A and B are shown apart, each in its own frame.
Chain A
Amino acid sequence: MKTWIKILGVLLLFYAHIAGLLMEVPRLNIVNETIRATYFHVPMWFGMVFLFLMSLYYSILYLRKPSLELDIKAESFAHAGLAFGILGILTGMIWANYTWGSPWHGDPKQNGAAIATLVYLAYFVLRGSIDNMEQKARLSAVYNIFAFAAMIPLIFIIPRLTDSLHPGNGGNPGFNMYDLDSRMRLVLYPAIMGWFIIGYWMVSLRIKLSKQLDILLDLEDEKLK
């Protein structure tokens, strides 16, 4: 990763946090000031979907042409995506506590998010329980693809079918939530961009670490011989 991109990511997030807390926001009933949660909660989901998509992409690549590097990439992206997902759930719970009255409201979106986390936790349990490196990589790639496909109905279809209190629902839980006006876009888009960059940065650090550990293991093996 280029250094200027990292600096850009940090600056974008600095801007998003300061502007997100200080700038003028639209006044809506019930939501009021908690509308600022958009800047911190929504980018988590964008980041999570982005990271899981990258993980899916590397899993597909792995099945087409197996190599240890691709497996490490798929695993690292899933790892960071899971972290984003958990943060997304937590920020959502904080918001829900003030707006809906309880942190866990059993909303279809909350349940869907919880199941998505379960899927990737299962992915890591699967990785942990296979000793053979090559087999671990292949089976977890297969599960990654299968689970992602099974998750799509949960996250994108079921919330559209059932009633939900989540803002933007009752119609389309898509992008235009809160009637995003131009002032909010000025903060939301940079925040999403910033989190994309930071997420990618985290992943690239993790990939580097895994590769070094791999080299270290090889060196130790040679010593033993």
Chain B
Amino acid sequence: MIYRLIVKEFTLELRRKSVISGIALYLISLVFICYLSFSLRLSVISEAIWSALFWLAILFSVINSVAKSFIGEKRGLSLYYYTIASPKAIIISKIIYNSLLCFILSLLGYVLFQVFISDPVQDTPLFFLTLILTSTAFSSALSLISGIASKTNHSNILMAVLSFPIIISILLMAIKVTKNVLDGLDWSASYDELLNLMAINCILSGLAYLLFPYIWRS
């Protein structure tokens, strides 16, 4: 069931080309704005600013793309899913699908940063591990919140308001590890943060799995 739901998400996504290209364009314009506003043709930015900028760009595009996972769905469609699948299968499939989406988005962001800004990453495997961990954490937090926000009157504003305080701890960890990667520090230097990210992942995905059935019932 979970597998089929994930496949369904992908086929739906590929069918609506305008949405994917919209998100990609969003990310490209964001990076380009960073490039222009820091006038990077003439100057260079430090590692700390690189990692903060990178994660902010990823954060905004991820919030926008994950938000549509429940908010965009039509009322009839969600009723239909309700009759054929269990809520637990739905949330797991959404989390897996969204983390893949987040990972692809952050890869795209990384490529864009390489092209426009610079590529100070020295330890690629560690950087990719960070990307994977943060994308799963983002997706489990944002999937549940998108489910909550979709039931409210001003879902787009609430999506941002509800998710920012929860996302901050993940974001801080990610920025710190990334800065360590850019400085070329050893794995042992970011061991604590990685462990923390994993713990946050477990807490958030476990809670999303437990709590989603209550949202779904309405």
Contacts and interface: CB of A to CB of B under 8 A. Distances in A.
Interface in A126-153: 126, 129-131, 134-135, 138-139, 141-143, 145-147, 149-153
Interface size class of A (residues with CB under 8 A): 20 to 34
Given A115-B165, A139-B215, A146-B211, A126 B203 contact: no
Contacts of A134: 218
Contact of A125 (B161, B193, B207, B218): B161
Contacts of B151: 130, 135, 139
Interface string B152-172: 111000100110111011001
Contacts of B200: 150, 153
A31 interface: no
A159 B148 CA distance: 30
Contact of B214 (A130, A142, A157): A142
A154 B152 contact: no
Interface residues of B, number: 31
Contact of A122 (B153, B161, B192, B207): B161
Nearest to B141: A150
A63 B214 contact: yes
Please report whether the interface of chain B is mostly helix, strand, loop or mixed according to DSSP.
Answer: helix
A61 interface: no
Nearest to A132: B218
A158 interface: yes
B99 to A, nearest CB: 17
Given A63-B214, A138-B214, A149-B204, A129 B153 contact: yes
A161 interface: yes
B148 A143 contact: yes
A37 interface: no
Nearest to A134: B218
A161 B218 contact: no
A134 B10 CA distance: 34
A182 B195 CA distance: 38
B196 interface: yes
A147 B153 contact: no
A143 to B, nearest CB: 6
A158 B172 contact: yes
Closest 7 CB pairs of A and B: A150-B166, A119-B165, A118-B165, A129-B152, A153-B169, A142-B211, A154-B169
Given A138-B218, A139-B215, A150-B204, 9 more contacts: A63-B211, A118-B165, A126-B148, A130-B152, A131-B153, A142-B148, A146-B166, A147-B166, A161-B193
21 contacts: A115-B169, A119-B166, A122-B162, A122-B165, A126-B152, A126-B158, A126-B161, A129-B154, A131-B153, A134-B218, A138-B215, A138-B217, A138-B218, A141-B214, A142-B211, A146-B145, A146-B211, A150-B204, A151-B165, A153-B200, A161-B192
